Structures are given as C-alpha cells and as structure tokens.
Amino acid sequence: MDILIKKALLFDGTGAAPRPGCDVSIFEGRVQSVGKSLDCGNEAEVIDAGGLALMPGIIDSHTHYDAQVTWDPSLDPSPSLGVTTVIMGNCGFTIAPCRAGDRDLIMRNLTQVEGMSLDALRAGIVWDFESFPDYLNAIERQGVMPNVAAFVGHSAVRTYVMKEAAVERAATPDELSAMRDIVSDAMAAGAIGFATSTAPQHNGAGGIPMPSRLADDTELEEMVRAMGAGGQGVFMLTKGDRTDVPYLEALAAKSGRPFVIAALLHNPTNPDGTFADLRAIDSARRRGRELWGQVSCCPLTMDFTMQSAYPLESLKAWQPAMKLSGSALKALYRDADFRAAVRAELKTPAGVRLFNGEWHKIAITQVSETKNAEAEHRTVAELAGEAGVDPLDWMLDFAVAENLETVFTAVLLNSDEEAVGRMINDPNASVALSDAGAHLTFFCDAGFGLHLMGHWARQLQVLSLECAVHELTGKPADIYGIADRGRIAPGQWADLLLFDPNTVDRGAKRRQFDLPAGAPRLVTDAVGVAGVWINGERVVDGNGIIDATARPGHVLREFDA
C-alpha cells in the first residue's frame, strides 16, 4: 500500500449517494480497496480527510491544450482545478499533422479561432513532430501532469493534404484518399476520435473560414467512416446550420459510432433552440443512435477589445474588419456603410450567432484614457442611451477614440439560469465546453467542474452533488470509452479530488502575463480544493500545484469500443 486516505465522504463517480467515513487505499497508482477502518502498512502515507469529500478527478472532455502541452506539460491551470484527464483537439483545431512549411499557417488559424497570441505560439510551440502519431509520441516523451487524450483534427488534416486550397474548395478524390489514410493512421496510433467544425463563427486569420468548413457531405462521411473502421472512435462536431441534428443522426446511422455535438448554449433571442436540439438528440437516441449534446454550465462571458472583436466575428458584415488592423481598422469602424451593414444583419434572426444585438449585455471593463474612467462598469446600452445615439455607433466611436484599447466584457449566451439548469439536467446532455487552453484573453472556464459543484449543486441545488460528480467523472469516461477512470473502485486508476463540499467553487478571474513571449491570459483559482492525485501521485494540495515539473499523467491511446 502506498497511500491511505481515511474518513472521507466518498462520491464514487457512479451517481450513488455519498458514503461517509470511507477509507481508500492506493497501491502502484491504482485504487486497491475501498471501505471502513482499513489497515495500512508501515510504509503507507496516511491522509486523514477529516470529513472532506473524495471523488474521482474531473474529466474535461472539451479542451484546446494542443499547443500549450508542447511548452507546458502541466497544462496549467486545469490540475489545480481538479482536472485529472483532458481531451484536446476539439472542433478539429489541432497542430498535428503539420509540415514545417505550414506551421505559420496553422498558428495563424489558432490566433483567430481560438483567441491565441501569435507571438506566444511562435515562441512556445515545440515542433518536434510532423504526423499525428509523431505528436502523441512527442507528448509521451516529455511527459504530462494530467492524463491526455487527443482527437485527430479535421482542419489540420485538410491543411496537411490541401495546403492553401484547404480554405478554398472541396477535396478531390485523391485528396480524400490521402485524408482517409491520415485519419486511419491516427486512430491506429491512439486518437480518441475525429473532430471537426462547421460553425460560422470559426474563422482563421483574416476572417477566412477554418478549413473544415469547406468540407462537403461526402468528405464528412468519408472521414467519419475512416475513424470508425476499426470499431473505435468518437466523432466530435461543433455544428453549424447545415449540420443539424437530423443530418448528424443520418451520418451516425452510417458509421455506428458515438457522436458528440457542440456547442449547445442557451440563446435568449432563440430560447427554444438548444432544447429543440436536445429533443432531436433524444429522438435519435431512442432510435438507437448514440448522440450527445455538449452543454455548458458557465455563462459565456468574454473580455475583448475592438482590435479583435470575437463576439461579432460570426457576422458576415464584420468580415472586412477581420482583415485589417491599426489605422485601416479604425477607418473601417468610422465608415457609415460598414455600420449600416452590421446593424442590418443584427436585426436578422440567425441560427448560430454569439452576439445578437443585446447591448445591455456589453459593458466597459477597462478604459485606456483616465478621463473616461466614469464609463467603466457601465453598459453600452446605458451609455449610448445617455448620449442619445445608436449603441453600435457609440461603441465604435468610443473604441476608436481610445485607440481600440478599451476592454469590453460581453455576456453572450447561457445567462438565463433557469434555462441552463434545465440543460445541465437533460439526460441527453454532457456538461463540458470549458475550452481550456483557448480564448486565453477572453475568458477562463477551466474551472467549469468546480462551478458545477459549487454554484449549481451546492448553492442553487439544481442537481445533487453526487449527480454533479457523476456528470464530471463516470459519465464522460463512459461516453469516450476511457477505461478504469472516472470512478473510485478497486482496480481503477487513482485519479482523485479531495475537496470541501461546503465551500467548493471556482474563484474570480484574473489576468496574468506568463505565456511565452510574456503574453497575457485569464486564469481562475480553485476554492475548497484540498488535494488532487493523478495515477496515485499527489500534484495539488490546499495551496495549489505542489511541483510544476511533476509528470504522473498518461497519454491515453486505448479506449473501450
């Protein structure tokens, strides 16, 4: 026996009621026994939980750590927030496969679609791979703190085969054949599945659509078939209007593989939209198709400046702004025709759009000119109303006057707590969408699991704590076929989270400048976390990460069918 955790309130990850006063013994990285008054050997480390709660570590199934993992194997801040396993490569936004000559193109795409600093990516990414199998091998060589599983990503595969044409046209038969081979090789090497996006807000550098958005139906079907040919793999898609749930059900029927559909967020201008998708998923499941809708338990809140106004970039009228910077961008913002086109589009209903003209949900967080300090923490709607001008005109004029350095905060989606509570309790939904590793200057939802436990279970009691734990552990382990994780039982890997059920939550966001090249990011701290173990090694205590150089994690390559 290596470790004995005594007298814990045990949440085993199955959704069963918690068991007080439980002991858990760990030997060689796995749970050895679970019970009461367990004996321990003389060599064991004994930890008195003292009534704290013990649960399996959180499985974060929607992350974008694909670049960060090459320079930061600890995948900060996820382990300190209770996460012991991450799945990356979601939406198909990966960095492998990639030829040396295409690296800058891949990085430029990430700066736009995932809100990453190009300087940080250029300074940080360690390019010691080309193929997807090379990439997994490179991660394994360097080691990781949490366990890591990875999707093979559609946009990277398309770029590898088609280069610049990947954002211009459909694939030829020969190109399709080459892409099928890459996906098959990736699955053989241990990819957890294949991921893609058809979402209109997913644009690369200069507003060019991400490569996966140029794929036709034939290509999507061929990629999913290549993924599932060996009886393995999960298909993950961030959907757009043309890839609705009925379309995906038909595709699932052809492949026989589980589908995870993102991103189902509540939009107050289309209040039934997400629930309609969940009803359609339910109908498909009743017909034998394993579809899951990925929902978020967090309000989608973004910090941004008008230098890169991500909340507005799904608007077609905004596309010219994505190609400009500096004085040219300010000139466009002053242009009356540009403003009229944006206003007109905002008045038109849309199926998938981040911002829908709710100006009372955009506020000024930080001004660049001290003379404007009174505008901080006030909404654009309020300020424009006082000035007697249109909100779009007011925001653009104010931003231009501050050299586009004003920091705005937008509460975009998932702000209706009654609706979000219904979503996270839907049996066809999987709570995820942290986007950890991406949108680093916009938001930080890496603590989504602690938020589910603290805000939704403890404070609002929308679901029980045991249900919240199951949602974060045993359930994603089952969906993705992650063997021997997500539960506390003999033989399971000892991925564990010790926490105070009376205080557990995530802290407030804060900005720090610790990315490569000194680039900034938003982070959040854990509240009520007392310990995290990964494969039996403690990596977090009540003060956070114990040793940032610890590498107990596994690169996961084998999954249950």
Contacts of 247 (CB under 8 A, 6+ apart): none
- Give the pair of three-digit tokens for residue 426: 């839907």
Token pair 């107050």 is found at: 268
Residue 200 has a pLDDT of: 86
Question: What's the predicted TM-score (pTM) here?
Answer: 0.93
CA distances from 131 to 13, 94, 165, 189, 434 (A): 36, 12, 20, 10, 27
Q: What's the CA gap between 472 and 527, in Å, rounded? A: 17
Structure confidence by residue, pLDDT tens digits, 214-258: 999 999 999 999 999 999 999 999 999 899 999 999 999 999 999
Quick one: pLDDT at residue 114? 83
**CB count in 10 Å sphere of residue 225:** 18
What integer pLDDT is reported at residue 351 of this predicted model? 63
Closest CA to 530 of 13, 29, 5: 5
Q: Is the pLDDT of residue 310 over 90?
A: no
Tens of pLDDT, residue by residue over 193-220, are 999 999 988 988 888 899 999 999 999 9
pLDDT band, very low/low/confident/very high, at 365 (cuts 50, 70, 90)? very high
Q: How far apart are the first and last CA of the chain?
A: 32
Q: Which distant-in-sequence residues (6+ apart) come within 8 Å of 144 by Cβ?
A: 69, 73, 74, 75, 551, 553, 554, 555
**337 is written with which tokens?**
């025709």
Mean pLDDT of 286-294: 98
CB 75 within 8 A of CB 438: no
Compute the average pLDDT of residues 337-366.
90
Q: What residue segments make up the domains of the chain, in order of their start?
A: 58-299+414-481+490-545, 302-411
HSE-CB at 162 with a 13 A cutoff on CA atoms is 26
Task: Number of helices (H) and strands (E) in the chain: give both, helices first.
Answer: 17, 22
Statement: residue 104 has pLDDT above 70: yes
CA distances from 484 to 478, 491, 514, 534 (A): 10, 7, 35, 13
pLDDT band at 173 (very low <50, low <70, confident <90, very high): very high
Flag whether pLDDT at 1 surpasses 60: no
Give, as one character, the DSSP assignment of residue 70: H
Phi, psi at residue 413, to the nearest 5°?
-140, 170
CB-based contact 539:551 (threshold 8 Å): no
Task: Please state which of the ranges 9-13, 140-144, 507-511 shows the lowest mean pLDDT.
Answer: 507-511
Q: Ranked by mean pLDDT, which of 26-40, 50-64, 439-453 comes out on top?
A: 50-64
Residue pLDDT, tens place only, 417-465: 999 999 999 999 999 999 999 988 788 999 999 999 999 999 999 999 9
**pLDDT, mean of residues 492-503:** 98
pLDDT of 42 strictly over 80: no
Percentage of residues in the chain with pLDDT exceeding 90?
88
Please provide the average confidence, as pLDDT, over all residues in the chain: 95
pLDDT of residue 352: 63
Strands (E), 201-252: 234-238
* Domain 58-299+414-481+490-545, CATH among 3.50.50.60, 3.20.20.140, 2.60.40.1580, 3.40.50.300: 3.20.20.140
Are 406 and 429 spatial neighbours (Cβ–Cβ below 8 Å)? no
Are the C-beta atoms of 354 and 201 separated by less than 8 Å? yes
* HSE of 37, CA atoms in CB hemisphere, 13 A: 0
Using a pLDDT cut of 70, give the percent of the chain over it.
99
Of residues 115 and 454, more confidently modeled: 454
Q: How far apart are CA 450 and CA 429, in angstroms?
A: 18
Q: How confident is the model at residue 39 (pLDDT cuts 50, 70, 90)?
A: confident
Q: With helix as H, strand as E and coil as C, how does 468-494 read?
A: HHHHHCHHHHHHHCCCCCCCCCCCCEC
